[in-house]
Amino acid sequence: MSILSWNCANGLGNKLDSVKIVIQKHVPDLAFIQESEITDAQIGPCSIPGYELFCANTLETFGKARIVCYCKKNSFFRKIKTPDGIDLIGFECPDVIIFGLYRGFRIYDNTLPADYLIRYLDAIKHFNSGAKEIVIIGDFNIDPIRDENKWHGKILNEWALENGLVQHVRGVTRKRTILKANGQYQLQTYCC
């Protein structure tokens, strides 16, 4: 099983050519795209041969989805129903449930109530029966290490421990190339 996750700042439509190249090169079973900002009108143009495109149910509720997932056609994954109003997509197969999520800094009505993080955690916990392994991929927009003494980081760390979850990614999780004032490019990497 192979899974790809890409934080596509400024929307999938702006980075579609790059996303297609990476997906066609690596042929993942699932490819979660956070910050996709996709609308109904973009679904057709954003299709990739050999893949079915699934959007968070916020597409119907708010007119756009901030997370989408390309699922390889004829794969062994089945999409599961997730709660309305949050950018969460879930898939299951016999041994595992995989969630892709994007918790933005603002909700669609431009607010950020404290219980917004809890809605994601409660939704995932609902499926944590212990019968299957749970994998969570995406962007909580929280650095649990740096923010461990702040409300969101503390809640996320405590929730993970209470539910027996283990962080497997321990290295660089973000890379970006920036153009410096002198015209040269610099690669920035972040570990969290």
Residue-number span of the structural domain to which 81 is assigned: 3-141
Of 48-62, 110-124, 160-174, the range with the highest mean pLDDT is 48-62
Domain total in the chain: 1
Is residue 102 domain-resident?
yes
Is residue 168 domain-resident?
no
C-alpha to C-alpha distance for 153 and 146, rounded to whole angstroms: 8
Is residue 124 domain-resident?
yes
Closest to 115 measured CA to CA, from 98, 103, 102: 103
What is the distance in angstroms between the CA of the first residue and the CA of the last residue of the chain? 24
Is residue 54 domain-resident?
yes
Task: Pick left, alpha or beta for residue 13 (phi over 0 → left; psi -120 to 50 → alpha; otherwise beta).
Answer: alpha
Is residue 65 domain-resident?
yes
pLDDT reported for residue 47: 94
Closest to 79 measured CA to CA, from 62, 59, 95, 99: 99
Is residue 18 domain-resident?
yes
Question: Which of residues 117 and 69 earns the better pLDDT score?
Answer: 69
Domain CATH for 102:
3.60.10.10
Q: What is the pLDDT of residues 118-164, one digit of tens each?
A: 888 888 888 876 668 888 888 887 765 665 556 677 777 788 888 77
Is residue 96 domain-resident?
yes
Is residue 19 domain-resident?
yes
Q: Which letter does DSSP use for residue 70 in this model?
A: E
Question: What pTM was computed for the model?
Answer: 0.83
Q: Regarding beta strands 96-102 and 133-139, do their DSSP bridges make them parallel or antiparallel, or are they unpaired?
A: parallel
